[in-house]
Amino acid sequence: MDDFMSKALEIAKAQASVRVMSAEEILNYAKSLASGLQNVTEPVPADAQAFHGDPKKSIRESSVTCLVCGAKVKVLTSRHLEKHGLTPDAYRVKFGLKKGTPLSCKSRVKECQERMQKMRLWERKKKAS
């Protein structure tokens, strides 16, 4: 929990440096981020089977299968890969995934892209006023 919160605070701090936020805003932002981060990290099921087949197919619309332990997650975090002694880059190399392949389910990648676009629009609006 503390891990999520400190990570969330880091992100919130970065946000606060690009736009004016009150302390309360930062805290609320960090809180919602922390719960979001918690949601993406699911416990590894004990009976998880290693994924066999095309590594590219391990990245699906709503989940990603860890090719090392077979855990189904929404995002394959670097923290998860650390448990296997890998970094995201080493993981891609090991399983022959293209450099830069997002290690998160496709729907989340789309979600992030949409959110970034909205943020950019918001920034533009702010500058115009």
Query: Which helix (H) or strand (E) covers residue 50, if one does?
Result: none
CB-nearer residue toward Zn ion: 19 or 56 = 56
CB-nearer residue toward Zn ion: 12 or 71 = 71
Binding flag, residue 66, Zn ion (CB under 5 A): yes
Cβ-closest residue to Zn ion?
A: 66
Angle at 31 between CA 111 and CA 121, to 5 degrees: 40
Helices and strands: H and E segment counts in the chain: 5, 2
Q: Which of 30, 33, 59, 68 binds Zn ion (CB under 5 A)?
A: 68
Question: Given the rule CB under 5 A, which of 18-26, 28-36, 60-68, 112-120 is the region that contacts Zn ion?
Answer: 60-68
First and final CA of the chain: distance in angstroms? Answer: 39
Binding flag, residue 64, Zn ion (CB under 5 A): no
CB-nearer residue toward Zn ion: 30 or 80 = 80
CB-nearer residue toward Zn ion: 38 or 77 = 77
Give residues with Cβ within 8 angstroms of 12, minimum separation 6.
21, 26, 27, 29, 30, 33
- Where does this chain bind Zn ion (CB under 5 A)? 66, 68-69, 71
